[in-house]
Every structure is written in C-alpha cells, then in structure tokens.
Structure 1
Amino acid sequence: MTTAPSRRDRRISPVFLGIAAVMAVTGWAVWTDFAADARIAVFLFVTSAWVVSLCLHEYAHARTALHSGDISIGAKGYLTLNPLKYTHALLSIVLPVIFVIMGGIGLPGGAVFIERSRIRGRWRHSLISAAGPLTNVVFALVCTAPFWLGMLDGVPMIFRFALAFLALLQVTAAILNFLPVPGLDGYGVIEPWLSRKFRAQVEPFAPFGLLAVFGVLFIPEVNIAFFNGIDAILSGLGISDLETYCGQNFYRFWKTRDELCQSFVS
C-alpha cells in the first residue's frame, strides 16, 4: 500500500544542492571577474543554472501530481530534486545539456513517471502537464527581471550577457514544451479533453514527437521564424539579440572569441 510522502521523501538531495552551489559560486565568479578565464565561468554558471531549472521543471510536475492525488510520487524520489531519480535521466538532463552546448536551444525534458490512474478530473491532469513549462516561464521572468525593471546599473556586462543567454534557454524551453505535440507537455495539457479514440490513435507517435519538432526546426524557414519569435519575446522583456548573441559567444569558450562582445567587457 502506497503511503503519503514522508519527511525523508521531501528532503532536498545533496546532488541538487551541489549543482545549486556550483551555480552560486560560478555566478559569483562571473560577477566579480574572479575566474582566470571568464568564458569557462560563464559556461559553468549557465550550465549549472540550466540543470537547476530542469530539476525545478520536473519537481513542478511531481509536486502538482502529489497534490492532485498521486501519493506514490514521494517514494520515487521526485520530491528531492535529485536528477538521478528521474525515470530517464538521459532525456531530462543529459540531452538538454548537450543541446545547449551544441545549438544554444532549450530542449524540453520530461521524465517523471506519474500514475495518472490515481488522479481524478481533467483539469488536474492538464495542470500537472502545464506545471513544468510554467516553471520555465517563471525562471525566464526572474532572469530577465533586471532588464525589464531597469535595474542594470552596476551589473557587470559579462554577467548581463550570461543572464540574457540563460533567459533565451528558458524561453525556448517553455515554448517548445507548450507545443501541442504528442510527447510534449503541451499535448499533455489538451490530452484529457480529447476523445478516447483520438488519444489511442495518437499514442504510438508520442515517443517521436520531440524528434519531429527538432526535425521541423532544421527547416531553414521554420528555424528563422522560430528564433525571430524568440528574439521578439526577449526584446519585449528588455533583452537585445546582441546580448543573447554575446552570451552564447562567451558560453562557448571553445569557439573563437567575438571581438565585438569582448570589447564590451574589456
């Protein structure tokens, strides 16, 4: 018999605390220009912050499921924020980090197993699916707050670039997650409202939904339109495309340094 999560089931994992500590220390190194190579500090700061956001994304799914009736969540370790407890750590952590390194795009995760049979009510099912990408939205608002609140005085330019790139990742993750494509959270939001027959027909394609999305993004016209939309959203939040570009340039420490971006921090 499954019981409600104990205090131990809710205790924050040392693994997550370690990742958060890396984020804090490297963020301080970027801010103070303490690191010998600022680009490596930016890489570590953005990557660790991205992993923290992925953990919070999955935690939001799990926590919402818990309050919706799935008390098995605690025993699975999802409430500890430990990424090693996810059903598919490869999908939730490793692949998203690889995609950030390779292409600078926020890959949606999704690897907490929720026992949907324990949950009653279509609204609850929809809310569980929406909770993850909504976390990315909140994270994006936090990253961009200094920009749209006009609180950039005293913020080092390189830290500003790092925040801009991190915000880009959060916005892309939120938008991609909310797409109504089988296998993504957006489809999970509308799925409870679809007919049983339609859901049965679509279910076999769910494992390939994410691959299909990225296949479509490789079409040049779609890719340009997608990132133009991302730039427009970030612009509305006070971030220019130059800031996100320089943030990505500093993040990729193994690439040639852009002299224009470097001139802003010299």
Structure 2
Amino acid sequence: MLFQDFSITEMIYLALTLAIAFSVHEFAHAYSAFRFGDNTAARQGRLTLNPIKHLDPIGTILFFIVGFGWARPVPVNRFNFKNPRVAGIIVSILGPISNLLLAVVGAFLYYLFIYLNLTSDFFYTFSEFLRFFVHINVLLFIFNLIPLPPLDGYRIVEDLMPRQVRPTLAKLEPYGAIIFLVLILIDPLYRVTIGVLLGEWVPALGGAIHQFFFELFITR
C-alpha cells in the first residue's frame, strides 16, 4: 500500500478512515483508562473523538507513503489503577478491539446497503468507502497487536509476563523502532514476520468478516 498506488478518491477514503479509526482507537484507550481510575488522558483533553487531538502528522503521512503509521499515544499512568496488570491489559487491548469493531460495523453497513438494493450514486460511493474502511481497520487491528514497542501488542505481552521479566523487556523498549525497521527493510525477515501478518492474516480476517455478512444478508 503505497502513496503512488492510490487514486485521488482512495486518498480521500484513507484520510477519512484514518481520522475515524485513529480517533476511536485512542479514545478507547483514554476512556477505559479513565474508567479504571486514571484521568491522565482526560486532563490532557484526550477523552474525545476529535481527530485533531489524536492524529500525529508524521504517523498519518507515513501511512500514505509506506502503508503503516500511528496516532499520538494516549498517556496512561498505571499507578492509578487498583489492579495495574489486569487494567493495563484491558486498556491496551481495547484500542485494537475498537478497530475490529469498526471493521465489523463497516461490513454490516456495506452488506445492508446491498440487501436493501440502494443503488444511488451516493450509496455506491459510500459502499466503496466502506470496503476501504473495513480493510484499513482490520489492518490496524492486526498491526497494533504486533508485540513490539510501542504497539499495544507489546504492552499486552509486558503485562502478561512475570514481574521479574519486565525489567529485561524495559531495556529493549528503546530498540523497538529499530527492530521494526529491520523487519520491514530486510526482505527475508519481512516475509516471515510482518509480511505474513499484513499479506495473509489481514486478508484472511477481512475475508472472514465479509463472508459472515455476505451469508447473513445475501445468501439467505
């Protein structure tokens, strides 16, 4: 997924999708942390769905150029949680889960439009956007579960590890971006790691979601 592969329409679809997906993702972190007793994100104005509060300019631009990027991470102070380990896992996983739910909602609407035989130009354009929306949110769901810092998958693994292992993991955090770049730039490593996730898992999960709603709305 590279910038030069996009039409103008697809770039608009991507911009709208990222504005929604990143905002909902970070809001899910902020809201769940707030519910568990940490108001750090709320005090910084992050308990909102306003994209301006969540989008990172560089991370968003990179999504257009190389196919992956990031939003501004929501600040979380786990010392405010009564049970930091359990609450930390839930707060971390709800970001990716929010993207999966967005993909499900997008697919539901897409096949509902087909079922209702809505054929106007508006619904045709919106349906094309929904297919794009589903794919990007599935990609974000899987991508964010990669267990490399600073992604959510790493935070989940960190909280699942025994306490004595965490200091060792903490030493590796500054090298997370380097490790990720190595996996991206060295083709043999890419093909057996991130390439599998993006090239096989994303289409498989997206296909399963589409198949479910296709059978629900179309084949009955």
Answer yes or no: same fold by TM over 0.5: yes
The range that moved more, 114-123 or 73-82, is: 73-82
Q: Which residue of 1 aligns with 2:93?
A: 130
Q: Which residue of 2 aligns with 1:61?
A: 29
Residue 112 of structure 1 deviates from its aligned partner by 1.3
Give the fraction of aligned pairs with identical amino acids, expressed as a percent.
24
Deviations 1:8-51 (A, max 9, x none): xxxxxxxxxxxxxxxxxxxxxxxxxxxxxxx5344224302311
The change in CA–CA distance for 1:232 and 1:212 in structure 2 (over 3 A counts) is same
Name the amino acid aligned to 2:168.
Answer: Q
Larger CA Rg, structure 1 vs 2: 1
- TM-score of the superposed pair, with normalisation by structure 2: 0.74
Unaligned runs of 5+ residues in structure 1 are 1-38, 87-91, 240-266
Q: What is the RMSD of the two structures over their aligned residues, measured on CA atoms? A: 2.7
- Counterpart-to-counterpart distance in 1, 2:118 and 2:51: 35
Q: Which residue of 2 aligns with 1:112?
A: 74
SS of the counterpart of 1:181? coil
Residue 61 of structure 1 deviates from its aligned partner by 0.6
Q: Which residue of 2 aligns with 1:154?
A: 118
Partner of residue 166 from structure 1, selected from 130, 133, 151: 133
Q: Which residue of 1 aligns with 2:196?
A: 225
Name the amino acid aligned to 2:92.
Answer: S
SS of the counterpart of 2:24? helix
The change in CA–CA distance for 1:138 and 1:237 in structure 2 (over 3 A counts) is same
- TM-score of the superposed pair, with normalisation by structure 1: 0.63
Name the amino acid aligned to 1:213.
Answer: F
Residue 211 of structure 1 deviates from its aligned partner by 4.7
Name the amino acid aligned to 2:11.
Answer: F
Residue 136 of structure 1 deviates from its aligned partner by 0.7
- Counterpart-to-counterpart distance in 1, 2:104 and 2:178: 28
Name the amino acid aligned to 1:101.
Answer: F
Q: Which residue of 2 aligns with 1:44?
A: 12
Residue 196 of structure 1 deviates from its aligned partner by 3.0
Name the amino acid aligned to 2:49.
Answer: L
Unaligned runs of 5+ residues in structure 2 are 1-6, 212-220
